[in-house]
Amino acid sequence: MTEAVDRPATLTLPTTRDHPFDPPAELLRLRAERPMHPLAFPDGHQGWLVTDYTLIRAIMADPRFSSRQELRHVPFDHPLGKTLPPPAEPGTFIRMDAPEHTRYRSELTAQFTVRRMRALEPRITEIVESHAQAMREQGRPADLVSSFALPIPSRVICELLGVSYDQREVFQEATRDLLQLQGTPEKFAAAFTSIEEFLTELILVKRAAPTDDILGGLITDTELTDLELRNIAVVLLIAGHETTANMLGLGALALLRNPDQLALLRADPTLIDGAVEELLRYLSIIQFGAIRAALEDVELGGETITAGQTLVLSLPAANRDPERFADPDRLDVTRDSVRHLSFGHGIHQCLGQQLARVEMRVGFSTLLREFPDLRLAVEPHEVPLRTDMAIYGVHSLPVTW
Ligand code: HEM
């Protein structure tokens, strides 16, 4: 496969933010120029940065663009980004194309339906309320991340999968190390090993005595091997807690920093569903976007993409595209039909999106109801932002009430 492009790629992925909620200004400037730009990758590869909403949506739905791990160059400095990675292990379906991806995804789709997630709502409400109460009892000021945003989705995904919540340190710490941009290869490898060993052990225990949860169901109802089950569990456990946790933490900060929007939501709690969608759009926590590799030469957006080139699909840029959203840089909880790309699009569209929606709806509603005068306990500029992580958010959020 050739690496040639018409123009030499000198641009590197813009990552510096001027404002905690806005994508890098450089990214938005590039989007205003043209829908895609040649991009230089740290390993020397020349690929593309795509910033246009319509184009990104089209690429995500186009089988000529692959999610296969071994084809995708890493667009930011990362300990494992110096060379192309090996193919994904069996079960790691997020890094596969059809038909391999389809086989795994179809075993899981039934577990994550809207109906099933809505049925979970009472239990999620119990979990959210118990954490709100614990935060209150612990006293002011509290860190909203460690006492609310992180434990809620962690506990929910543990219960769904049948993982003991007592083991949360293992997977929360491993996830932190895996998502860190400036970690060492050794730290990264150790994090992978610890989460894999923990889940290998769990699958063995469940194989011996199947339980009534998603992993137990997959063991009983499918022909999946232990290695496949282990890797599916790794994907679900990591994707299932860290994403929603960051939306809850950063979302709470965004509401506190936009008092007019917070007041609207407090005055009319029925706005919550739209507010969740708007926060997903406005905050775009998957901050570097989805990544694909071209399987063949493709003409798109007035450019020729060459087979083998990696494309960074900037979800933050797409979600602020003025062609798609009026006044895109404004948080507006009353916005109509927010068809954002924060859960992706096409065959890899987020499997856990209905679960995440319920957790956010119940999470934000409870927080606003239980803490009517919630406010920051530090100056806004003192809140530590996750600019050093693949998933954006806040490291901690000191609040008082
Ligand atoms: C896929 C975002 C919550 C499980 C994705 C993708 C995005 C995304 C953008 C597509 C990746 C791509 O196309 O390459 C988010 C956000 C979340 C969230 C913003 C929270 C607000 C969850 C939860 C789960 C989950 C709670 C729980 C199981 C997955 C899985 C995939 C995925 C398994 C891969 C699907 C596939 O490859 O078929 N997510 N996610 N996500 N997400 Fe989420």
Give the position, in ligand 1's atom list, of the atom nearest the Cα of 112. Answer: 28
**Please, what sign has the CA dihedral across residues 232, 176, 288, 75?**
negative
Residue 67 in contact with ligand 1 by CB distance below 6 A: yes
Ligand 1 pocket test: pick from 157, 350, 361 the residue with the most ligand atoms within 8 Å of its Cβ. 350
Residue 181: pLDDT band with limits 50, 70, 90: confident
φ, ψ of residue 177 in degrees (nearest 5): -70, -35
Residue having the nearest C-alpha atom to atom 4 of ligand 1: 352
* Contacting residues for 401 by C-beta, under 8 A, at least 6 apart: 136, 140, 371, 372, 373, 374, 375
- How far is the centre of ligand 1, averaged over its atoms, from the C-alpha of 351 (Å)? 6
Look at residue 110 in the predicted model and tell me its pLDDT: 75
Strands 310-313 vs 290-294: parallel, antiparallel or unpaired:
antiparallel
Output the average pLDDT for the chain: 93
Atom of ligand 1 nearest to the CA of 96: 37
- Given this model, what pLDDT does residue 2 score? 41
248 lines ligand 1 (CB under 6 A): no
Structure tokens at 169: 């340190």
Q: What would the pLDDT profile of 97-127 be if each residue is shown by its tens digit?
A: 999 999 999 999 877 777 777 789 999 999 9
For ligand 1, the distance from its centroid to the CA atom of residue 352, given in whole angstroms, is 6
- Burial class of residue 48 in the structure, from the number of CB atoms within 10 Å of its CB (0-12 exposed, 13-18 middle, 19+ buried): buried
Q: Which atom of ligand 1 is nearest to the CA of 95?
A: 37
Say how many Å lie between the CA of residue 43 and the centre of ligand 1.
Answer: 27
Q: Write the pLDDT tens digit of every residue in 31-40.
A: 999 999 999 9
- Look at 46-50, 179-183, 187-191, 387-391 and tell me which has the smallest mean pLDDT: 179-183
Q: Is residue 188 over pLDDT 60?
A: yes
In short, whether 357's Cβ falls inside 6 Å of ligand 1 is: no
Residue 375 Cα to ligand 1 midpoint, Å, equals 30
As a whole number of Å, the end-to-end CA separation of the chain is 59
307-363 residue pLDDT tens: 999 999 999 999 999 999 999 999 999 998 789 999 999 999 999 999 999 999 999
Largest separation between any pair of C-alpha atoms in the chain: 62
Ligand 1 atom showing the smallest separation from residue 235 Cα: 33
The pLDDT, as a whole number, for residue 81 is 79
Residue 22, judged by CB atoms within 10 A of its CB (0-12, 13-18, 19+), counts as middle
Strands 142-143 and 398-400: antiparallel
Ligand 1 pocket member 352 (CB < 6 A): yes
pLDDT > 70 fraction of the chain, expressed in percent and rounded: 98
Strands (DSSP E) contained in 51-197 are 65-66, 142-143
